[in-house]
Amino acid sequence: MRTRVTSFAPATIANVSCGFDIFGFAVNSPGDKVSLKLIDSPGVIINKIYGDNGKLPLQANLNTAGVAAIEFLQKFKPEAGLEIEIFKQMPLGSGMGSSAASAAATLFGLNYMFDNIASEIQLIEFALKAEKVACGSAHADNVAPSLLGGFILIRSYDPLDIVRLHFPKDLFCVLLHSDIEIRTETARKILPEKIKLKDGIAQWGNVAGLVAGLFLEDYKLISRSLNDNIIEPVRSKLIPYFDEVKNKALKSGALGCSISGSGPSIFALCRGNEVAKKVATQMKNVYDAENIESKYYISPVNEQGPKILVE
Ligand code: HSE
């Protein structure tokens, strides 16, 4: 058992166009870092949060890292106490899985401290409780890839059934973040409760096509499948110049482009790093021309997931 650890968990792209709440993958950066220290008196204390401009709650039962730690300790070490410092290294409300990354880094670090006492599924279940507190819904398409790395399918929520998908190693992601904040809770409230059967059929075809394309390493099939005719048309209205950015991405060679999680970040999947660099520049140019602050990240799919930085 260790008494101190610093851990990191990556940002994630949830939904991946056609797979609302069921697909997600991790990227190398950005990501969140937490420092954990066991203390003698039971309970979870968040000592300090860096990089959030004072926006996140220090109260453990309202904070995603705090809730994750409370759930873990209640189950495995109710007598233990924990102090947490959180280093937010990505913007809040960005659609990059910020709340999930803090919870995942905390859970991975805690599990390491206690010699991997919890299973992967248990960690995901604790992280889901944290997501529920952070954004009102227990979706796993950020927490699962942040905790496990790779490209993840949530085949079922009840019972939780998580599948690691094969993907081609040359698949690169461009993630463009613009300086506006969209709360996941808000972006979920505007979604329709019912969809037309014909829209469902199109979406199921794309979901199956994307899984097949990833396994077969068939980039053309991946590209044809990166279409969402249910969520994207509704949410893209919240994102300035979404259509322009998407058109630029597709015209400059992206396989597909859509909203990252609940937005406002926009992701594009590309074959190879060189194409990704070109796509990223073209996407950012749209925002530059409109004087909208933005920043892009380029990364292959992150296979490792969370890691221990300091023991
Ligand atoms: N699947 C979730 C949503 C992800 O789109 O609401 C949130 O990041």
Distance 76 CA to ligand 1 centre (A): 29
Looking at domain 171-300, its CATH architecture is 2-Layer Sandwich (3.30)
Pocket test for ligand 1, best of 262, 265, 266, 267 (most atoms within 8 A of CB): 262
Instruction: Give the pairing type, strands 81-87 and 43-50.
Output: parallel
DSSP state of 241: T
As a whole number of angstroms, the distance between CA 93 and CA 100 comes to 11
Q: Which atom of ligand 1 is nearest to the CA of 97?
A: 8
Distance from Cα 102 to the centre of ligand 1, integer Å: 16
pTM listed for this prediction = 0.97
Instruction: Give the alpha-carbon dihedral of 168, 163, 137, 129, to 10 degrees.
Output: -120
The catalytic position among 64, 131, 244, 293 is: 131
Find the length of the chain. Answer: 311
Ligand 1 cavity residues, CB under 6 Å = 14-15, 20-21, 95, 97, 139, 141-142, 184, 187-188, 261-262
- The residue type found at 238 is L
Q: Is 52 helix (H, G, I), strand (E, B) or coil?
A: coil
Nearest CA to ligand 1 atom 8: 261
Q: Can 290 be counted among the known catalytic residues?
A: no
Among 15, 143, 235, name the best residue to mutate to test ligand 1's pocket (greatest count of ligand atoms within 8 A of Cβ). 15
How many angstroms does the Cα of residue 21 sit away from the middle of ligand 1? 6
User: From ligand 1's centre to the CA of 77, what distance in Å?
Assistant: 31
DSSP 84: E
CA–CA dist 7, 109 (Å, integer): 5
Per-residue pLDDT of the chain (311 residues; tens, 9 = 90+): 899 999 999 999 999 999 999 999 999 999 999 999 999 999 999 999 999 999 999 999 999 999 999 999 999 999 999 999 999 999 998 999 999 999 999 999 999 999 999 999 999 999 999 999 988 999 999 999 999 999 999 999 999 999 999 999 999 999 999 988 899 999 999 999 999 999 999 999 999 999 999 999 999 999 999 999 999 999 999 999 999 999 999 999 999 999 999 999 999 999 999 999 999 999 999 999 999 999 999 999 999 999 999 98
Q: Residue with structure tokens 């085949």? A: 155
Instruction: Give me ligand 1 centre to Cα 16, in Å.
Output: 10
Closest residue by Cα to atom 6, ligand 1, is 262
Enumerate the domain spans of the chain.
4-165+303-310, 171-300
Residue 265 three-state SS = coil
Tell me which of 3.30.70.100, 3.30.1330.40, 3.90.1150.10, 3.30.230.10 is the CATH number of domain 4-165+303-310.
Answer: 3.30.230.10
* Active-site residue, selected from the candidate residues 184, 232, 281, 311: 184
Ligand 1: which atom is nearest the Cα of residue 141? Answer: 1
Active site residue 131: yes
188 Cα to the center of ligand 1, angstroms:
8
Alpha-carbon distances, residue 26 vs 7, 8, 61, 146, 204 (angstroms) = 16, 12, 26, 6, 23
